[in-house]
Structure 1
């Protein structure tokens, strides 16, 4: 079967989804450009800045397009085949994921650019707000665990080959290139801070330098050879340091350079898929719909793909930074709905990187390595087979680049949530909150050992999807209280809630069995931790649903006027 034809069909579905269903959802919100958005009202030049829609779309897309839509589809294809995976990505992103992002963005804009947790507080009450903060922190911790371990696996080379006149280790090349990339971002930040050169000059110097460190990484690939567990701990130390540094030091320059890597990888993937002439080698399906806890498409396909179709993490981005830059309400559709459709395209490209690999080759392979090799094959369509080492290193480094962006933001958000829960602010509280948010994943990763991400990924995906369901729950309650139509948020919320709670029950049983009767060589601590966390997530969800039902049963307040809504 032709990969090209499938890709064209998916692009058509995404385009129709934006044009038809996106328009329908926008009509339900009655977007009104005469209402002054928080960005226009405050416009402090720091956080609140009215931004052109297409510039904001690029920034927002760079913030949400992390490792989730890459790793999830690859793992799902290994477990379930490409058919169910592609179907869920194409339909899920149009009817659920994009609706979630769009809704979170609109709700935040109409709540004075407040966060998802603050929206919960305003519509469901303080107790629900506290429960939501705890839920978000747990979801962030599992995100950090999964992504850190996957990246560590990418940094470990299993073989060392002689390429011409030098020794080459694929994992070591990615580790070296990624380390130099982070140092390059710090240099860029320092140069920008001290001399403030024009952006065009910084771009023509540091973007080519980013490609240069990829090439250099292939030449010094045997310098940074450590175990996967060691790399996992090093990555957690990076999370701590990066999260307490001023944003101009690393976060902003790395985000700027990472945007170029992201769009370059996206372009390479599209060119390779459309013009590479690759055949599909993976089976269309490998699991029965209800084959058991670990091999069933229902419900585990949905929580395995996670961010590729819907992501609760996006709601945090939409309500945390993006809503403060919306210049007009109508911009919410291209930024929120359109941005998620672009993420769906990233997921399809990631799925394609494993679809062109034989099952016996891809079985058990780390997602970062699969993605890197796939992007390399797509890139050699453009630059030739002779540059495969550079192409493979670039592909894997692109994956780690996405992860670094996510880990940094997740650790910062985790720190802020702990400070909010403790009611403590200031430098000492920030350091303590960051230390806890980074140390907990580090300890769990050490206890789990190499490849632990496979133990945590499904629970990460479940918490992520459940966070999206809870965000849609809050939006649905808000719409109901306003006397507005809410079917378009209620339907995906109910679906996500059902599928994730089903998954959560299955995982609780699975992890409990693993803790009570551990298999030889399988660490017990992660099984116990996962079982306890699964129960806690279920309890928090039940409490939030109860609080929502209590609010809905109360008398409905008077709908606000346009002037009141804009205030």
Structure 2
């Protein structure tokens, strides 16, 4: 119980204290015009209130990840709390804030364009593939998981495929229509359901006395199947700690923020909130289940079965149903913006204006056709590939942020350290897991370190040479967009 409460307190302190350092390091310009005003188009670039942006950002980034992931992470024991707290404060929230703010400084550009600008133009093509793959997987996964939960709550004729069709229709509309027409209007309702369900689970954990069952903090691996903590936990718990998917979502909100000073609450604050959600569900899983029973339940019906059991046990039939609806809200409000973000990334890549409805349709229709085909692939296979693509994207976003800070002559260690750490884990995961090479763990430790070192050296050499060239040619400018002359197409008002 103390480790759980302490973790929540540390998350709050992370926002109060560490986020100030992160914001100061970026160099916010409170009076600078934002893309929402400069590029307002009635579709994607629309000024919205800080509270609405925060809520949309929270619901965008909080798919099933901060619930399913922590529940599966609970199998490792209270060591899961360590990764959620440290990962969130020093990696995840930093990742979300810098990527969102750098996008804002680049007219709402998405990750592929930012990677091309700050890491070299070839990276734009590489990252475009990664980001597109990730978003397609996210959108597909976040159709299947809410559909299965809804099917369990409704009459038999409303089976899994019935809800798949309904969710797809909603996703298509939310991808096509202006952001303030559907997403901006219904997200406050979704947000209320989500927050009330989390508060309900938290309160009943204490009032029922089940909170006493949460183990106190230790570094012991309690996983009943003997799955290694390294690298397992860093891919099991992504949303809530650090997730590359967020790098595809923050640019959506960078196009609707009214002032740069709002970024701290909208980007960093939303991630801290997601960390609190992750802590609550991880604690609930530890409190109510023996890890052997939890493992069996997850294997029998994915983490959604554990969600239903936790909600109904703690809150009863009525409250539990509301809580389950809160969980359903999360993947739906990430799936819709996953497809929307994918549309915007493709449009940016091929330079297709998205103001005309027909242009949005021309990109959206093939996206949903491909997602429909992926529906026939086993969920667990999709999830494994999503895990790796997700954290690889996070590494790219952190290295983009590091390059930006180096060009700006700011403190780049705040992004480089978590970036190198996760780079090592991504390589280790690829070397040891089934989706990769399946090598022996001990050998993989050394190989991962060597590959990480090579990539780091190449990155440092490239960035330093680029900065030297820019300084020599007097291209380091006051608004911290140092490669304006190289990629002017990204910038129209900077």
Same fold (TM over 0.5): yes
- 1-structure distance, mates of 2:368, 2:456: 27
Q: State the partner residue of 2:297.
A: 364
> Given the superposition, is the C-alpha separation of residues 234 and 51 from structure 1 closer, same or farther in structure 2, using an over 3 Å criterion?
closer
Q: State the partner residue of 1:343.
A: 274
Q: 1:100 Cα deviation (Å)? A: 0.6
Q: Is 1:477 matched up with 2:410? A: no
Deviates more, 1:455-464 or 1:360-369: 360-369
Q: 1:306 Cα deviation (Å)? A: 1.0
CA contact (8 A) 1:243 1:411 kept: yes
* Structure 2 gap segments, 5+ residues each: 440-450, 483-492
- 1-structure distance, mates of 2:70, 2:216: 13
Q: State the partner residue of 1:107.
A: 102
Q: Is 1:493 matched up with 2:419? A: yes
- 2-structure distance, mates of 1:8, 1:53: 28
Match of 1:406 among 327, 334, 342: 334
Q: Is 1:389 matched up with 2:317? A: yes
> Given the superposition, is the C-alpha separation of residues 145 and 353 from structure 1 closer, same or farther in structure 2, using an over 3 Å criterion?
farther
Q: Is 1:462 matched up with 2:462? A: no
Match of 1:7 among 4, 9, 13: 4
> Given the superposition, is the C-alpha separation of residues 447 and 298 from structure 1 closer, same or farther in structure 2, using an over 3 Å criterion?
same
Q: State the partner residue of 1:65.
A: 62
Q: State the partner residue of 1:131.
A: 126
Q: 1:485 Cα deviation (Å)? A: 2.2
Q: State the partner residue of 2:243.
A: 311
Q: State the partner residue of 1:259.
A: 191
Q: State the partner residue of 1:87.
A: 82
- 1-structure distance, mates of 2:352, 2:34: 30
- 2-structure distance, mates of 1:230, 1:286: 45
Q: State the partner residue of 1:270.
A: 202
Q: Is 1:30 matched up with 2:21? A: no
Name the Cα RMSD after superposition.
3.6
- 2-structure distance, mates of 1:334, 1:51: 14
CA deviations on 1:165-193 (whole Å, 9 max, x unpaired) are: xxxxxx1x2xx4xxxxxxxxxxxxxxxxx
TM-score if structure 1 supplies the norm length? Answer: 0.71
CA deviations on 1:263-307 (whole Å, 9 max, x unpaired) are: 222322332234442145577899986999982110011011111
Q: State the partner residue of 2:470.
A: 557
Q: Is 1:145 matched up with 2:62? A: no
- 2-structure distance, mates of 1:101, 1:416: 18
Alignment of 1:411-422 (within 5 A): 411-421=339-349
Q: 1:72 Cα deviation (Å)? A: 0.9
SS state at 1:557 partner: helix
CA contact (8 A) 2:384 2:435 kept: no
Q: 1:413 Cα deviation (Å)? A: 2.1
> Given the superposition, is the C-alpha separation of residues 369 and 353 from structure 1 closer, same or farther in structure 2, using an over 3 Å criterion?
farther
> Given the superposition, is the C-alpha separation of residues 442 and 10 from structure 1 closer, same or farther in structure 2, using an over 3 Å criterion?
same
> Given the superposition, is the C-alpha separation of residues 16 and 64 from structure 1 closer, same or farther in structure 2, using an over 3 Å criterion?
same
- 2-structure distance, mates of 1:548, 1:117: 20
- 1-structure distance, mates of 2:46, 2:427: 39
Q: 1:322 Cα deviation (Å)? A: 3.4
CA deviations on 1:333-387 (whole Å, 9 max, x unpaired) are: 2222222111100111221331222235533333233224423444x3xxxxxxx
* Structure 1 gap segments, 5+ residues each: 157-170, 177-220, 381-387, 514-538
Match of 1:353 among 275, 284, 290: 284
> Given the superposition, is the C-alpha separation of residues 510 and 330 from structure 1 closer, same or farther in structure 2, using an over 3 Å criterion?
closer
- 1-structure distance, mates of 2:180, 2:22: 37
CA contact (8 A) 1:48 1:325 kept: no
Number of aligned residues: 459
Q: Is 1:446 matched up with 2:446? A: no
Query: Radius of gyration: which is bigger?
Result: 1
CA deviations on 1:424-470 (whole Å, 9 max, x unpaired) are: 5665664453343333343333242xxx2x33323312221221110
- 2-structure distance, mates of 1:486, 1:420: 28
Q: 1:142 Cα deviation (Å)? A: 2.0
Q: Is 1:504 matched up with 2:421? A: no
- 2-structure distance, mates of 1:56, 1:238: 21
- 1-structure distance, mates of 2:481, 2:385: 41
SS state at 1:88 partner: helix
TM-score if structure 2 supplies the norm length? Answer: 0.80
> Given the superposition, is the C-alpha separation of residues 494 and 543 from structure 1 closer, same or farther in structure 2, using an over 3 Å criterion?
closer
Q: State the partner residue of 1:164.
A: none
> Given the superposition, is the C-alpha separation of residues 282 and 474 from structure 1 closer, same or farther in structure 2, using an over 3 Å criterion?
same
